[in-house]
Structure 1
Amino acid sequence: MNLKIKLSALMLLSFSMVKAQKVDVAKAFASAQKQTDLLVKNVDSARAIKPLLVSPRTVEKGAFKMVVSKDWTSGFFPAELWYFYEYTKDKKWLNLAKKYTQDIKKEQFNTGTHDLGFMIYCPFGNGYKLTKDTAYRSVIIQAAKSLSTRFNPTAGVLKSWDHNGDKWKYPVIIDNMMNLELLFEATKFTGDSSFYKIAVSHANTTIKNHFRPDFSSYHVIDYDIQTGKVLQKLTAQGYANESAWARGQAWALYGYTMCFRETKDPNYLKQANGIANFILNSKITPADGIPYWDYNDPQIPNVSRDASAAAITASALYELAKYSKADAKKYKLAADKILLSLSTKYVSKPGANYGFILEHSTGHRPAKSEIDVPINYADYYYLEALLRSKK
């Protein structure tokens, strides 16, 4: 047995022996609120200089990075503010959430991206849930219409990217599963089943083409829109085409759990359970439950972790536990362990990282971008997981 296998076995044994503990949600939220108070101040200072920058994304090489509304991560910051309002019922957070949500509104008409679920549904969906403001509902409906323009009925999927046409013709990434919730919600609001049918077609086609027998997922599938056939199976942000990129597995788990909630189709529950078992049975993930950025990087353990993948996974497992009765205890236990690790070992020191909550996420390692940094979607799904843990 070589050293790496021995190390992995010891880490797995250690993980299985960790005594179950629950995170102190009140303490975690209190700490997160203090950090976010600082983050808001830094956002306002940055916007005073560059008003078109609307949301904080990350800290890279010591620099505070803001993005414009068309960036795929623009909706996470206002969505976090809605979660603070949901937890505290403090009007301070309500007013801030309203203010920063408004900055993303124009993206409802953006037909050049598949990320409208992240950009629009995260802030406006949470805003509507908490306020029932019909203006938010209207934005969600328009965003669903915009997203629907990216659907190709022959291939049966929504196109993800319009860039790098020399690499692929019609790329679909596993991340796109996260944008289907916007379509399901639009059907509820309008009674128009076309949104629902697009979401189901995309989810079904993705099951058919994106997954390996062990339920790990490819990152990118390239389609021929004339025939609907798969041209290539690739990665863009993972280690290799045949590797399992950690955040991609988390997107898949969350996406199919959500699809089961919205459709009650048992195939989606089966898929979510299979993905969950792939993640939880990994002999590579360390004892604290926070995965390396890619499950197949040969440099493990000397590579970066991905706290964002862990936060997404924990949030998804809490929901999946409600539907998978036989595995509910296992899923809750795993989510509790991950969330405890995030809240005790992966949080920023008070006042550090310009106010971001979590450290040690990995954005795009192959591009040498956002490696071992705080990042807004890690914070968003961490707060969501904290809320779900209470339920």
Structure 2
Amino acid sequence: MPRAPAALLQTVDDSGLPDRYTRTPDVTRRTLERALSTAIDSIDENLDEFNDQFPGPSSEGLVYSATDNTDGWTTSFWTGLCWLAYEVTGERRFRDAAQAQLATFERRLDCGEVTTHDLGFLYTLSAIAGYRLTEIEQYRSAALTAADLLVERFWDAPGLIQAWGDHASPEDSWERGRMIVDSMMNLPLLFWASEVTGDSMYASIAERHARTNAQYIVRSDGSTFHTFKCDVETGAPLGGETAQGYDADSCWSRGQTWAIYGYALAADYADEGAYAQLSAKLANYYLSHVEADHVPRWDFDAPADQSYRDTSAAAIAACGLDELAHRLPLADTRARGYENAAIATLGSLGEQYSTDRSESNGLLTQGAYDPTDGDYDECCIWGDYFYVEGLVRATEHWSRYW
């Protein structure tokens, strides 16, 4: 069995929150409000092009092409942007756009697209967000169907949700028992399913995966592997690898931010303070290695000739750090530091990394989807989503979708 959260924390070193985040950043609320308004204007301008289609995962020349909602893990980030714009403005056209897109997510379930753990990404920002905002029963039903499909990917012996491949197919045996750090952001789908059904099975699986992830993907220094495999029959650890980081032993910055945010969310759902403390240790590692302008390199250990930035990781970090600040005890003085880091990050993204709307239909430049495949220095749709979520967190009274 995986170790209990409090026990596993003893194995993680903690270098502490960097001193620069104890100071209030020079970023005004008005600056963030203007950035949010600009972002919503950009979403509005793209509603017609991306109605029942979606921006691709990353741009080409800072311009997204349209894609259908048939595969991949990123389509819901556009739907999430539409829901955010609807909440901020109250304008019906944003809600109508999101609801038009939801029909494609329902069709996707009917077509059997289940060979991925990314059901959490796909249905949290589409169906769960839609149900929270409209109380339309079919959105609840779609999200619960997705949760059931995610449960099917759970391996009991190691206590993990398999990330990639058909878990039941011998042809995908190479992926059998592989979890990835991104999965921490898919667990809210299961926690939510327990909340709305009263069935604790979903949350129990989410917690078991969170503990296994903490045991094997989180390293002793507070950095993370991208992927880790376990034997599905015995539960024995088989070792860590990477798919999008520099190498197996490096720290891929976007993966680090998935873990920061994911454990802060798990701390709330599970009412488990040890998860918040683990999120803080992960955050301290991240903040100790991020660049001076609060935007990380795509991999903290990549060589100098591959020091591409990843604004999408910074945007995720801004949201995760804000969530973490709210999950720590009131007496924990670090909470203010994490809030400062979130605001400083949003300020830097808006000032230094915003696109020119006359040349781009995205929001942030220098996103790095996968530099190992030559995909960097572009817009990334999840980076755009988390940037706007971060701005909404900083300027609005908002109840999260996750």
User: What's the TM-score, normalizing by structure 2?
Assistant: 0.86
* 1:124-163 map, 5 Å: 124-162=127-165
SS in 2 for 1:155: coil
Post-superposition shift, 1:306?
A: 0.5
Deviation string, structure 1 residues 163-191 (Cα, Å, up to 9, x no partner)? 89585542111001110000001111111
Deviation string, structure 1 residues 361-389 (Cα, Å, up to 9, x no partner)? 10011122x21100110011111111111
Q: Which amino acid aligns with 1:215?
A: G
Post-superposition shift, 1:111?
A: 2.3
Runs of 5+ unmatched residues, structure 2? 1-17, 398-402
Question: Partners in 2 of 1:183 and 1:132 — Cα distance?
Answer: 19
The residue aligned with 1:99 is 100
Post-superposition shift, 1:16?
A: 8.1
Q: Which amino acid aligns with 1:86?
A: E
Post-superposition shift, 1:312?
A: 0.4
Post-superposition shift, 1:134?
A: 1.6
Cα pair 2:261 2:317 within 8 Å, conserved: yes
The residue aligned with 2:114 is 111
SS in 2 for 1:186: helix
The residue aligned with 2:327 is 323
The residue aligned with 1:5 is none
The residue aligned with 1:21 is 27
Question: Partners in 2 of 1:62 and 1:348 — Cα distance?
Answer: 8
The residue aligned with 2:185 is 178
Most deviating of 120-129 and 239-248: 120-129
What is the number of residues matched between the two proteins? 368
Corresponding position: 1:252 with 2:259: yes
SS in 2 for 1:215: coil
Question: Partners in 1 of 2:224 and 2:35 — Cα distance?
Answer: 32
SS in 2 for 1:221: strand
Post-superposition shift, 1:66?
A: 3.0
Question: Partners in 2 of 1:343 and 1:166 — Cα distance?
Answer: 44
Question: Partners in 1 of 2:21 and 2:153 — Cα distance?
Answer: 42
Cα–Cα, structure 1 residues 94 and 293, in superposed 2: closer, same or farther, change >3 Å? same
Cα pair 2:160 2:177 within 8 Å, conserved: no
Cα pair 2:224 2:256 within 8 Å, conserved: yes
* 1:284-295 map, 5 Å: 285-295=290-300
Post-superposition shift, 1:309?
A: 0.4
SS in 1 for 2:385: helix
Question: Partners in 2 of 1:22 and 1:201 — Cα distance?
Answer: 41
Question: Partners in 1 of 2:117 and 2:102 — Cα distance?
Answer: 19
The residue aligned with 2:79 is 78
Q: Which amino acid aligns with 1:242?
A: D
Cα pair 2:367 2:380 within 8 Å, conserved: yes
The residue aligned with 1:314 is 318
Q: Which has a greater percent of strand? A: 1
Deviation string, structure 1 residues 140-164 (Cα, Å, up to 9, x no partner)? 1111001111001011100001189
Question: Partners in 2 of 1:268 and 1:231 — Cα distance?
Answer: 24
Q: Which of 14, 35, 48 pairs up with 2:42?
A: 35
Deviation string, structure 1 residues 204-224 (Cα, Å, up to 9, x no partner)? 111111111111100010111
Tell me the C-alpha RMSD between the 2 structures. Answer: 2.2
SS in 1 for 2:307: coil
Q: Which amino acid aligns with 1:338?
A: T
* 1:1-391 map, 5 Å: 19-23=25-29, 24-43=31-50, 53-61=53-61, 64-69=64-69, 70-108=71-109, 110-162=113-165, 165=172, 168-282=175-289, 285-299=290-304, 303-324=307-328, 325=330, 326=332, 327-353=334-360, 355-368=361-374, 370-390=375-395, 391=397
SS in 2 for 1:60: coil
Cα–Cα, structure 1 residues 214 and 361, in superposed 2: closer, same or farther, change >3 Å? same
Deviation string, structure 1 residues 62-86 (Cα, Å, up to 9, x no partner)? 6633333221101111111000011
SS in 1 for 2:58: strand
Question: Partners in 1 of 2:58 and 2:216 — Cα distance?
Answer: 33
User: What's the TM-score, normalizing by structure 1?
Assistant: 0.88
Larger RCO of the pair (alpha carbons < 8 Å, separation 6+): 2
Cα–Cα, structure 1 residues 162 and 266, in superposed 2: closer, same or farther, change >3 Å? same
Post-superposition shift, 1:43?
A: 2.9
Percent of paired sites with the same residue: 30
Question: Partners in 1 of 2:203 and 2:287 — Cα distance?
Answer: 31
The residue aligned with 1:3 is none
Cα–Cα, structure 1 residues 92 and 224, in superposed 2: closer, same or farther, change >3 Å? same
